[in-house]
């Protein structure tokens, strides 16, 4: 079962020193606002609460889901191994997607200038 990101309660975390939201459930991708990215997180085999991998779709050892404003480039295989230190819990006060969007608005691309 997947859940609506706009209705979930989150914990603000950082991944690679970038702000993100974390929830222990799988999120419905169609509920992620434009300009944000969703990834699933795999935990360690010993269930110690360490995030060790992110990807588009984690099947085994699913720990939860994260939403980021900044894109994270995944290798061709679709999974990125991470060191536990790259994922930090309790780094902010956002507990909803709406609060996260207000605090970290989506990045916009600068329009191309065609002036000479």
pLDDT at 110: 54
Domain assignment of residue 15, yes or no: yes
Domain assignment of residue 17, yes or no: yes
Beta bridge partners of 95: none
Contacts of 38 (CB under 8 A, 6+ apart): 5, 27, 29, 32, 65, 66, 67, 68
Q: Work out the pLDDT band at 109, boundaries 50, 70, 90.
A: low
pLDDT at 46: 83
- Residue-wise pLDDT for 30-56, tens only, equals 999 999 999 999 998 887 778 999 999
In whole angstroms, what is the distance from residue 81 CA to residue 46 CA? Answer: 16
pLDDT at 13: 96
In whole angstroms, what is the distance from residue 51 CA to residue 73 CA? Answer: 17
- Scored b (16 or more CB within 10 A) or e, 75-94 reads eeeebeebeeebbeeeebeb
Domain assignment of residue 77, yes or no: yes
Domain assignment of residue 91, yes or no: yes
Q: Give the number of domains in the chain.
A: 1
pLDDT at 84: 85
Identify the domain containing residue 80 by its residue range. Answer: 11-103
- Residue-wise pLDDT for 5-38, tens only, equals 999 999 999 999 999 999 999 999 999 999 999 9
Domain assignment of residue 1, yes or no: no
């Amino acid at each position: 079962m997947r859940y609506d990101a706009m209705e979930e309660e989150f914990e603000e975390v950082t991944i690679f020193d970038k702000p993100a939201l974390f929830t222990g459930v799988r999120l419905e991708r169609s509920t992620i606002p434009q300009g944000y990215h969703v990834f699933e997180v795999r935990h360690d085999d010993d269930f110690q609460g360490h995030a060790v991998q992110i990807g588009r779709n984690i099947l085994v050892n699913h720990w939860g889901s994260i939403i980021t404003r900044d894109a994270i480039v995944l290798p061709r295989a679709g999974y990125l191994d991470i060191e536990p230190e790259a994922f930090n819990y309790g780094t902010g006060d956002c507990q909803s997607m709406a609060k996260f969007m207000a605090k970290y608005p989506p990045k916009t691309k600068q329009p191309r200038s065609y002036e000479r």
